[in-house]
Chains A and B, each alone.
Chain A
Amino acid sequence: EIVLTQSPGTLSLSPGERATLSCRASQSVSSSYLAWYQQKPGQAPRLLIYGASSRATGIPDRFSGSGSGTDFTLTISRLEPEDFAVYYCQQYGSSLRTFGQGTKLEIK
């Protein structure tokens, strides 16, 4: 099982600031099969990034993903009020899909 560890657990920032979220895998993620999801309270997750760096349909370009192997990053260039949520990374490069524990992005 590939274990994903996200850091930090909580990130406190202000609107307009840049957010950098990290996801580290316990072993190399095949073909960069890594996705990022955003989840707001009481809502379903929403796909932001797949293939480590490809934005999903309708996702603003302030969201970007990077990385390969075991280290991946989600960057939000300029935070908007609606971006404050929990973010999960998830790998789909093995038969058992696993998620990180989440990073809560909160308003400072």
Chain B
Amino acid sequence: EVQLVESGGGLVQPGRSLRLSCTASGFTFGDYAMGWFRQAPGKGLEWVGFIRSKAYGGTTEYAASVEGRFTISRDDSKSIAYLQMNSLKTEDTAVYYCTRDRRVSYYYYYMDVWGKGTTVTVSS
């Protein structure tokens, strides 16, 4: 069974850092791009960013709202994707979802598998 499990969420003060993990199983992790999305309480879905597979350079793309503060990385040997979040703001409070991204071109991907999410609360 294809599965993604996020972990690492919690309560953190503004300005601090947090690292989320996404552990994958049931598929060849290294063959896929991996993405992160978030959903603030009572709000819609927002794309955070993604990392391409090594076959496509392992490069990353980010939403403007997190560019320079968040970093996505991957460890294909462990089937884990990471979201390093620095300089956190109260508006980063959300449920964070990990996704498996299916490639249609170098730039364009859709998400075919989602994890259940992990909650991040940024508050003093």
Contacts and interface: CB of A to CB of B under 8 A. Distances in A.
A3 to B, nearest CB: 12
Given A44-B114, A95-B107, A96-B63, A101 B44 contact: yes
A50 B110 contact: yes
Interface in A55-70: 56-57
Interface residues of A, number: 27
At the interface, is chain B mostly helix, strand, loop or mixed? strand
Interface of B: 44-47, 61, 63-64, 97, 102, 104, 107-117
Most buried by A among B102, B107, B110, B112: B110
At the interface, is chain A mostly helix, strand, loop or mixed? loop
Given A95-B61, A96-B63, A46 B114 contact: yes
A32 B107 CA distance: 15
A35 interface: yes
Nearest to A88: B45
Q: Which 7 A-B pairs have the closest CB atoms?
A: A44-B114, A97-B47, A99-B45, A92-B110, A50-B110, A35-B110, A47-B112
B57 to A, nearest CB: 15
